[in-house]
Amino acid sequence: MILITGAAGALGQLVTKKLAARDDVFLGTRLPRSPTQRRVDFDDPASLDFTGVDTLLLISAGYGEDDVVITRHDAAISAAEKAGVRHIVYTSLSGDGDHLAYALAHRWTERRIQQSALEWTILRNGLYAEFLAAIAAPGPDGTIAAPLGEGRLAAVARDDLAEVAARVVTASQQHAGRTYELVGEEPLGGAELAAAVGGSYEPGSLTQTREALIAAGNALPFQVPMLVGTYSAIAAGFLDGTGIGHNMLRRLLGRKPQSALEVYTTTVSATTPVS
């Protein structure tokens, strides 16, 4: 039996769709919506019954301070150990992301899994092209003001990462003890993004961006440094893919990855209100 956690999240839904033809896949989610879904909430260890699960796809639940995320992931891994799960597949963060604030909880989780007696596979996912569309969207006048400097992001289609996860969980023994770097092949910078949406690129400073994020009031306190740090790491050139030794995306997909630029433009046009 395969159990997918975070099944109602964007990545979890895509993995679920790809495995829909199988009868050995179960969905774990905080709010089950059908009898085939199990309640799995890392914040409630009593809900973490993984009895009968052979392979657990642990989708990171990364929205929180480090101590919150670490406690969540520890609870899930401890429950997997207790239930005798054979193999855990964890969605982590690409190796070039160590400068990002959220890297710490991912690296802690990788180490926790590797020090367990479980078989494991680590999927070191790059940042999604859809995420880039959220953090570097053009404004109403077409201007992209995201402070990416001259940096580029080796963004990757979330759907490609779901495809890899689906392939790995259904043949987990072939992937035991492997850590896969999964980043895009066409790094994207502000100028390319602006050209693709017919706008202009006029990057703000990190200070202006931090102030705007705080003023908008939509971000939780921990999210402000998280976002500013993401821009900073892209601008400093750490996330353009050149720091990745062996990008396994194409090999594990068995095909060319989807165009991150197309995913960016499609996502932007789907989320930008028509004036």
Binding site for ligand NAP (CB under 6 A): 5-12, 29-30, 40-43, 59-62, 72, 91, 125, 127-128, 131, 158
Q: In this structure, what token pair is assigned to residue 145?
A: 């003001």
CB of 54 to ligand NAP, least distance (A): 20
Q: Which is nearer to ligand NAP, 1 or 68 (CB)?
A: 68
The CA-to-CA distance between both ends of the chain, in Å, stands at 49
Closest by CA to 179, choosing from 257, 99, 245, 259, is: 245
Cβ closest to ligand NAP, residue 75 vs residue 143: 75
The DSSP result for 223-247, as a single string, is: HHHHHHHHHHHHHTTTTSSTT-S-B
Taking the least distance from each CB to ligand NAP, the nearer of 9 and 237 is 9
Contacts of 208 (CB under 8 A, 6+ apart): 147
β-bridge partners, 120: 88
CB of 263 to ligand NAP, least distance (A): 11
Cα angle 79-84-88, degrees, rounded to a multiple of 5: 70
CB of 200 to ligand NAP, least distance (A): 25
Q: Which is nearer to ligand NAP, 78 or 200 (CB)?
A: 78
Closest-by-Cβ residue to ligand NAP is 9
Q: Least Å distance between CB 161 and ligand NAP?
A: 7
| Nearer residue to ligand NAP within complex by CB, 116 or 223 | 223
